[in-house]
Structure 1
Amino acid sequence: MPIDPTIALAAPPTVEQIAWDTADVLLYHLALGAGGDPVDPGELRYATESGSVVLPTFAVVAPTLRATRPPRVSYPGVEVDLRTILHGSQRIDVHAPIPRDGKATASTRVADLYDKGSAAVIVVDTEAKSADGTPLWTSSMRMFSRGEGGFGGDRGPSGPPDPPAREPDHTVFTPTLPQQALWYRLLGDRNPLHCDPEVAKAAGFPRPILHGLCSYGLVCRALVDEVLGGRAQDVRSFEARFTGVVFPGETLRTSVWRAGDRLLFATTVEERDGAPALAGGELVTAGGGPA
């Protein structure tokens, strides 16, 4: 059986040592479009060694930076075909500032399994700690595996909440580049769905699609710059559900609602009449709320 909940939920975490340096962080920022104006100080703080900023969403790629093969969905008690997988949602909780050069111990485990009948939801958590044991971040990824349900588990929570029933406090437009997915795949996700037209066609898409985590990072950066006044260090958590595809070159429209120390958001695709991209979005800041 590809999914055995008894084994998966009881297994100890898989522990690995990870490391990154300033060049890795700069590549991540460039893959999110940083440096579009190469003389803008706000852009250069992301794209050159003169800056010190690290977007909190860098944490989701840090464990896979030097991967050169398509990812696998393989954990104790869970062995499923990557072709059945849809990335459902991603959350990152930042416990301490992420340095531009660092090492960490990353512990990964299957935190939960939900049975949706026709699909399974696999929740995978990764906790990263510095060499002295200081918690750096916790990431939580939910994956839908088509055809792997029916094992008798809890159905889990429902879909993302609806946005507030009022006009957004901010609307942020974020263009993507035609080559955006080609940049982003160098961070470790070599799934050919994002670069091979024939693979994309076989999956039912007219052309390769953008990585969901690229859209996720693009929106985080946009909210940091446009709503938080560039204060990436104020982000304590960032979460969103992936509700639709984005094609490289399209424009993201993000509607943002203030709610105390939280920013609630939803992202759509401008060129396709508001087709959904991200939903149930939430950015939590350090005390005091957004600027």
Structure 2
Amino acid sequence: MADPVAQIPVEAPTASVLDPDFLVGIPTQIIRQTYDRRDTILYALGVGAGQRADHPGDLPFVLEDRLLALPTMAVVLASPGFWQMERRYGIDWQRVLHAEQSCDFHAPLPVEGAVRGEFSIDAIVDKGPEKGAILRARRLIYDQADNRLLATVRQTSFLRGDGGRGSAGGDIRSLEPVPERSPDHIVPLTTRPEQALLYRLSGDYNPLHADPAVASAAGFQRPILHGLCTYGLAGRALLAAVCENDPARLKSMSCRFTAPVFPGEELDVHIWEAGNDTLYFRVMAPARALVVIDRGHARIAPPA
């Protein structure tokens, strides 16, 4: 996968500390990227597809002669990377947490091609000097070939060191909790010890997920799995349990990250069918009796 190429506005301003109006007012950043079938397969392997070579449901995501792209691959396409580190944004990046992720899938992703991302910051909600702020960024992903909108990707971050500076942009609604009843499906998933090393090849090279020394300095006993890798694992579970592994049927997927996952852990994806093509989901790490993804919500289309 070619590295994303960002087209930053020529007169991009800078801020010494977080200024909500300034951030929301920054012009849209254009990011272009090309990818091929190998990249599509590599992403699928990075989120656990193909662990069972005899499982027919995974084959379309890992074999080039019948290849389909997983819809959650949208999160790695035309990505600005860890943009909060850029000084011009005035963010205390060392205290940033990835809080929530949301994707609307408007059309099936091509298995190869060129895409254009339009990245902007659309909302900041102040929680006070002691609590920090919540920031939501949006990325529209278009197919360069026909200018078709493929996906809308929203990432919500918790800025622990940037509270007390006001709000700007739209409101950020809280995700709905999952039902209190027993789930309709429980999908067990296995993560491999090298899962993070595979996933990072799709573009997220944060050493927190690969270097034990960096992970230790951040307070973890060993490198943790990318949150968006766990998101992709959950997406695979939804496809398998309720979409007959048809990626075109998954229309949206949102969730809240609540705890890190360690490569090699077993996970259970709990899924509730709520009618009207609505799903709720939660991801558990059963060995630790811990919820690692909560308030999951998805929309699906009926079978073709």
Q: Which runs of structure 2 are paired with 1:94-243 in the superposition (5 Å)?
A: 94-117=105-128, 118-131=131-144, 132-153=146-167, 157=172, 159-243=174-258
Q: Corresponding residue for 2:73? A: 58
Instruction: Give the gaps of 5 or more residues in structure 2.
Output: 1-15
Residues 123 and 104 (structure 1), Cα distance of their counterparts in 2 relative to 1, 3 Å cut: same
Q: Corresponding residue for 2:278? A: 262
- Give the drift of 1:36: 1.4
Q: Distance in 1 between matches of 2:256 and 2:17?
A: 25
For the 8 Å contact 1:8–1:77, the answer to whether it is kept is no
Say which SS state the counterpart of residue 225 (structure 1) adopts. Answer: helix
Deviation per CA, 1:162-188: give whole Å up to 9, x if none.
321211111111111111011111111
Q: Distance in 1 between matches of 2:173 and 2:107?
A: 31
Deviation per CA, 1:180-202: give whole Å up to 9, x if none.
01111111111111111121111
Say which SS state the counterpart of residue 54 (structure 1) adopts. Answer: coil
Correspondence for 2:59 among 44, 65, 81: 44
Q: Distance in 1 between matches of 2:58 and 2:153?
A: 26
Correspondence for 2:103 among 92, 110, 129: 92
Q: Distance in 1 between matches of 2:205 and 2:148?
A: 31
Q: Distance in 2 between matches of 1:162 and 1:106?
A: 31
Q: Distance in 2 between matches of 1:220 and 1:49?
A: 21
For the 8 Å contact 1:46–1:53, the answer to whether it is kept is yes
Q: Distance in 1 between matches of 2:179 and 2:56?
A: 35
Q: Distance in 1 between matches of 2:173 and 2:284?
A: 21
Residues 55 and 40 (structure 1), Cα distance of their counterparts in 2 relative to 1, 3 Å cut: same
Residues 211 and 62 (structure 1), Cα distance of their counterparts in 2 relative to 1, 3 Å cut: same
Letter in 1 for 2:288: R
Deviation per CA, 1:195-251: give whole Å up to 9, x if none.
111211111111111100000000100110122211111011111110111111111
Deviation per CA, 1:42-71: give whole Å up to 9, x if none.
22211120223211110000124xx9xx73
Alpha-carbon RMSD = 2.2
Q: Which moves more between the two structures, 75-84 or 192-201?
A: 75-84
Structure 1 runs, 4 residues or longer, greater than 6 Å off? none
Say which SS state the counterpart of residue 244 (structure 1) adopts. Answer: coil
TM-score scaled by length of structure 2 = 0.87
TM-score scaled by length of structure 1 = 0.91
Letter in 2 for 1:101: E
Residues 205 and 158 (structure 1), Cα distance of their counterparts in 2 relative to 1, 3 Å cut: farther
Letter in 1 for 2:282: A
For the 8 Å contact 1:75–1:110, the answer to whether it is kept is no
Q: Distance in 1 between matches of 2:137 and 2:173?
A: 18
Q: State whether structure 2 residue 26 is matched by structure 1 residue 11.
A: yes
For the 8 Å contact 1:209–1:245, the answer to whether it is kept is yes
Q: Which runs of structure 2 are paired with 1:19-38 in the superposition (5 Å)?
A: 19-38=34-53
- Give the drift of 1:40: 3.5
- Give the drift of 1:77: 6.4
Q: Distance in 1 between matches of 2:54 and 2:137?
A: 40
Identity of aligned residues (%): 38
Q: Distance in 2 between matches of 1:243 and 1:81?
A: 21
Correspondence for 1:73 among 78, 84, 89: 84
- Give the drift of 1:81: 4.2
Letter in 1 for 2:157: M
- Give the drift of 1:160: 3.8
Question: How many positions carry a matched residue from both structures?
Answer: 284
Deviation per CA, 1:81-131: give whole Å up to 9, x if none.
432111011111111111101212210000111112221211110001223
Instruction: Give the gaps of 5 or more residues in structure 1.
Output: none
Q: Distance in 2 between matches of 1:94 and 1:179?
A: 29
